[in-house]
Amino acid sequence: MIWKVFKVAAASTAAALLVGGLVFGRDLSSYIHSSARVMRTSVTDNVPIEFQLQRARDLVDDIVPEIQANVKQIATQEVEIESLRHDITTSQQNISDEKKRIAKLRDCLASSDTSFTISNCIYTRDQLKEDLGRRFDYAKEAEVVLTGKQRLLDNREKSLTSAMQALDHARSQKSMLESQIAALEGQNQLVKASSVGSNFVVDNSKLAQSQKLIDDIKKQLDVAERVLAHQSRFVDPIRIDVVSDKDLVSQVDDFLKDGKSTGPQTALAK
């Protein structure tokens, strides 16, 4: 079953390559490369910022075990260097003491004596000569070993200095990266807050409709006020100066007496 699926996949891939070769020709590889780049870019752009920040934080945290391992290595080197320094000091003291013995034996052999008493022991000239030769060889070998130890100490001190500088650099880089990640997180929060504010959208068309309705109502009220004002102008005012019965009789008497017609308008006017 698996083999069948593999053959189908291989056949499909071969067919796709064949069709692509017929369509694009020699540019097929370029199209494939560009398509792959576009897909990678699209996938990267769609990754949430929070996930990328967490990934960066995890990468920085992964440096911590390496820093701790380097700290342990530096501590081990410091202990070894201290031990080597003590060893070198002891070797230097031993070589200095041995040189004093060698000088004493040399002084003895420089004389013409045939026997020598050292620490209540009597030694012949040949014994002294043999002992001096052995001690001299040992001292020379010890000085060679001491030179090697001093060279080793110098190299280890330089290595320790480099390791401490690398550790300080790693710590500073870690702190700088943490600061940058914190700054990016703050910027991301600011962008999110701004995006939340930008999502608060008011329907301006509804506001415009409300404003138009208010304007229409105000217009109707203004028209109603003007209509009432004009209507009040055309209403007959109440006549306060009404002709009394006595005045009317007096006017009629005057008319009949004089035989002159004052006319109804004259009577009414008074």
Q: What is the CATH number of the domain that holds 88?
A: 1.10.287
For the record, the structure tokens of 162 come out as: 């480099």
Q: What is the pLDDT of residue 266?
A: 47
Query: Which one-letter amino acid corresponds to residue 66?
Result: E
Q: Are residues 23 and 65 in the same domain?
A: no
- What residues contact residue 45 under an 8 Å CB cut-off, 6+ apart? none
Q: Are residues 87 and 124 in the same domain?
A: yes
Indicate whether 93 belongs to any domain: yes
Indicate whether 31 belongs to any domain: yes
Indicate whether 260 belongs to any domain: yes
Q: Are residues 68 and 40 in the same domain?
A: no
Q: Are residues 14 and 121 in the same domain?
A: no
Q: Are residues 9 and 79 in the same domain?
A: no
Asked if 145 and 94 count as a contact pair (C-beta separation under 8 A), the reply is no
Domains of the chain: total: 3
Nearest to 260 by CA among 249, 270, 252: 252
Indicate whether 67 belongs to any domain: yes
Q: Are residues 42 and 123 in the same domain?
A: no
Q: Which one of 135, 158, 193 terminates a domain?
A: 193
Q: Are residues 167 and 257 in the same domain?
A: no
DSSP states along 58-102: HHHHTHHHHHHHHHHHHHHHHHHHHHHHHHHHHHHHHHHHHHHHH
Indicate whether 87 belongs to any domain: yes
- What residues contact residue 124 under an 8 Å CB cut-off, 6+ apart? 114, 115, 116
- What residues contact residue 101 under an 8 Å CB cut-off, 6+ apart? 135
Asked if 244 and 267 count as a contact pair (C-beta separation under 8 A), the reply is no
Q: What is the pLDDT of residue 141?
A: 94
Q: Are residues 107 and 140 in the same domain?
A: yes
Q: What is the pLDDT of residue 144?
A: 95
Indicate whether 96 belongs to any domain: yes
Indicate whether 115 belongs to any domain: yes
Range of the domain at 268: 241-270
Distance of CA 38 to the CA centre of its chain: 26
Burial of 184: CB neighbours in 10 Å, binned 0-12, 13-18, 19+: middle
Split the chain (270 residues) into runs of 10 and give each run's mean pLDDT: 56 56 56 55 61 80 82 90 95 93 89 83 88 92 95 94 88 84 83 64 60 72 72 54 65 69 46
Host H or E run for residue 180: helix 125-198
Nearest to 123 by CA among 134, 111, 138, 113: 113
Indicate whether 222 belongs to any domain: no
Q: Are residues 145 and 254 in the same domain?
A: no
Q: Are residues 150 and 187 in the same domain?
A: yes
Q: Are residues 139 and 262 in the same domain?
A: no
Neighbours of 105 (CB within 10 A): 20
Q: Which one of 193, 222, 249 terminates a domain?
A: 193
Q: Are residues 158 and 268 in the same domain?
A: no
Q: What share of the chain is helix, strand, coil (3-state, %, to 5)?
A: 85, 5, 10
